Amino acid sequence: MAGCAGVGELKGLPAGTVPAAFGETTVGMDRAAWWARLRDPALEALVTQAMADAPDVQVALARVMQARAGLDAAGAARLPNVNVDATVTQQRTSLDQFGFTLPPGQRFERERTTFNPAVSASYEADLFGRLAAGSRAARARLDAATADAAATRLTLAGDIAKGVFAVRTLDLRIAAARDSVAQAEMLERLARDRVQAGLVSASEAASAATLTAQAAAVAPALESARAAEVAGLSVLSGLGVAEVRRLLSDGAGLPVADALPVVDVPSLLLQRRPDVAAAEARLRAADGDLAAAVRARYPRLTLTGSLGWLATTTAALFDPATLAASVAGTLSAPLLDFGRATAEVDRNRGARAEALAGYRRAVLLAIGDVEQQLVAARTARERQARLAAAAQAAADAEGLAGAQFRGGLTSMTDWLNARRTKLAARDAELEAQGEALERALLLWQAAGGQG
């Protein structure tokens, strides 16, 4: 009895794993549907489609359905079980079984038909809470399946968002590359005209042609990368490539990285991250299974009852004289099972120890993931800001070099070099902008952001 009482519902989870604060500073996060807040029609359409039809989501929802059925079954086990049955028996008796023959003139009814409709019920009183523990375990398994489904949706939405952000970034870079080609071709024509007029050397015209060729080589590589991202989004969303391409042709811009801020409270991290919630639920389920295994070693009280009629003709059915009823209480306990119950308890103790280790591992991974993504997001934003400043400086230098060239103060080569630097700086700025947004998304995922 004392051993049984020592295993009960899990009241608290292991402490000391979560730090008081993260090493990096963050800001508050709105938990509304983030893809709607970003106001990107293509992103919202792709995420909505994936949530409805993606195979991974369907698998996760099927597991939730199974876990919910398990909870219903565990709850039903704690309620009375009522059955109704009707039996018709045809019986023929042999006189030889009595060892004598009937006297002359005596008759014996050798054939008899009996009708026996009845309602029976049974109920286990659950004296030591075995069924209650099983119900707690089933509830925890449903919680774990639900958290796993949330984790699947979180990962899927994040992967789609990364793909959309990558396409948006590539669109900006492709547009900038095409604009660069147009400008380079204009400069190349100008250089050829000045060569023919004898104002500049042929080497400057060659430099202008080189700039044009370099600018023209950028866009095809970016377009190839964009096609790969579109194909990946097609797989994730379940839509055809043509439909994905159509959705992404709306010309929407790239959101800023600040659109996905996160919280800095570790306790909320444990509430928000679905993988941590799933690990905690599995620990509670293992605790309930252990409690049920321990309590299965103690007596069970089962109450049974039946109410029916036993008649030899259909006309006599439901006659009060044919009514039969019974009530019984059975107290049973294992006497000799050669260690089967003990082995089951030990197995569940091992499963609980595994679940506890899995929970602690999930917490540590979550903390480490957030720390890593906080640093990466901060670094990416700093890099974006510095490259934006560098791009602005390069644009100013290119404008100055152009003005000096038109004023006859510098050569076309200097202007071309300044333009080449400006184009490279602008492309680096756009790439850094996309990276900062992706890092913000990864940080949002690490903090358990859900919508």
d(CA 217, CA 281) in angstroms, rounded, equals 54
Residues 6+ apart with CB under 8 A from 403: none
Q: What are phi and psi of 305, to 5 degrees?
A: -160, 155
Query: In angstroms, how far is the first alpha carbon of the chain from the final one?
Result: 47
C-alpha separations of 181 from 200, 216, 219, 302, 412 in Å = 22, 6, 9, 86, 17
Is residue 110 a contact partner of residue 258, using CB atoms and an 8 Å limit?
no
Only one residue has tokens 């309590």, namely 295
Q: Note the pLDDT tens digit of each residue in 59-116.
A: 988 999 999 999 999 998 888 999 998 888 888 766 666 555 666 666 656 677 888 8
Q: Which two tokens stand for residue 253?
A: 């811009």
| Rounded distance between C-alpha atoms, residue 110 and residue 102, angstroms | 12
In 3D, which of 396, 387, 385, 386 has the Cα closest to residue 425?
A: 387
Given a contact cutoff of 8 angstroms between Cβ atoms, the answer to whether 49 and 238 are in contact is yes
> Which residues contact residue 415 at a Cβ distance below 8 angstroms, ignoring those fewer than 6 apart?
187, 398, 401, 402, 404, 405
Closest to 235 measured CA to CA, from 59, 56, 38: 56
Place of tokens 């659950």: 126
Cα–Cα dist 145/275, whole Å? 10
Cα 251 to chain center, whole Å?
Answer: 30
Residue-level pLDDT, tens digit, the chain, 451 residues: 334 444 445 555 555 555 555 444 433 334 445 666 677 888 888 988 888 888 888 898 899 999 999 999 999 888 899 999 888 888 876 666 655 566 666 665 667 788 888 899 999 898 898 999 999 999 999 999 999 998 888 888 889 989 998 999 998 888 888 888 887 788 778 777 777 776 666 777 787 788 788 878 888 999 999 999 999 999 888 889 999 999 988 877 777 666 666 655 566 667 778 899 899 999 999 999 999 999 999 999 999 999 888 887 877 777 788 888 889 988 888 888 888 989 999 999 999 999 999 999 999 898 888 888 888 988 999 999 999 999 999 999 988 988 887 777 777 777 778 888 888 899 899 899 889 888 888 888 888 775 4
Which residue ranges form the domains of the chain, and what is each CATH number? 32-88+112-446 (1.20.1600.10)
With CA atoms as reference, report the closest residue to 157 among 54, 258, 242, 65.
54
In contact, 348 and 286? CB cutoff 8 Å: yes
With tokens 């579109």, the residue in question is 230
DSSP secondary structure, 126-151, as one string: -TTSHHHHHHHHHHHHHHHHHHHHHH
Give the C-alpha distances (Å, rounded to integers) separating 215 from 174, 249, 416.
11, 23, 12
Give the C-alpha separation, 211 to 204, whole Å.
Answer: 11
